[in-house]
Amino acid sequence: MKKIALLLAALFAVLQFVPAAPPKSNPSFDAAKSFEAVMRPPGDVLATLRRACFDCHSNETRWPAYSYVAPVSWLVQNHVADGRRHLNFSEWLLANETGFSDWSGFEKVCTEVRTGAMPMPGYVSLHPDAALSEADSKTVCAWVDSKLAGAR
């Protein structure tokens, strides 16, 4: 029994040297092309999204202590890389874009919040401050709807 415990401890130690791909980073970005600059959300909407979404959907990820410990670190880094690929509030416009056009993608911000699909439930259990109330999601959706009404 003791041998197995030692073996597991050794394995855990070795895992720490296995680098996760992609690496943990917060790439720099052009603030003029960010969600905040382009969409001009009201303060309460921006604060809600920052609190509940930005860790996985922006280049301003707050990497928690557990994201430095393998094998959890690999999981966290995959979620962030995957999240950024789907939706990145920091890179709201692509480098070659001058105006925003992906309105159906924008609409999903409300859909995900309303259905409770996002923020990811596993994340919320570790980050209770990211939980959204009914009122939070109503505020986000009301603003998204008003933007969509003006755009279409």
Binding mask 66-85 vs ligand HEC (x if CB under 6 A, - otherwise)? -------------x--xx--
Does 41 contact ligand HEC by CB under 6 A? Answer: no
Q: Which residues contact 52 (CB under 8 A, 6 or more apart)?
A: 113, 118, 119, 130, 131, 132, 136
Q: In Å, what is the CA distance from 65 to each residue of 52, 60, 62, 87, 92?
A: 18, 16, 10, 24, 28
- Of the candidate spans 21-29, 51-59, 64-72, 92-100, the one that interacts with ligand HEC by CB under 6 A turns out to be 51-59
Member of 24, 50, 108, 138 binding ligand HEC (CB under 6 A): 108
Does 109 contact ligand HEC by CB under 6 A? Answer: yes
30 vs 82 by CB, closer to ligand HEC = 82
How far apart CA 13 and CA 6 sit, in angstroms, is 11
Does 86 contact ligand HEC by CB under 6 A? Answer: yes
Element counts in the chain: helices (H) and strands (E): 8, 0
Does 46 contact ligand HEC by CB under 6 A? Answer: no
Contact residues for ligand HEC (CB under 6 A)? 52-53, 55-57, 79, 82-83, 86-87, 108-109, 112-113, 118-120, 123
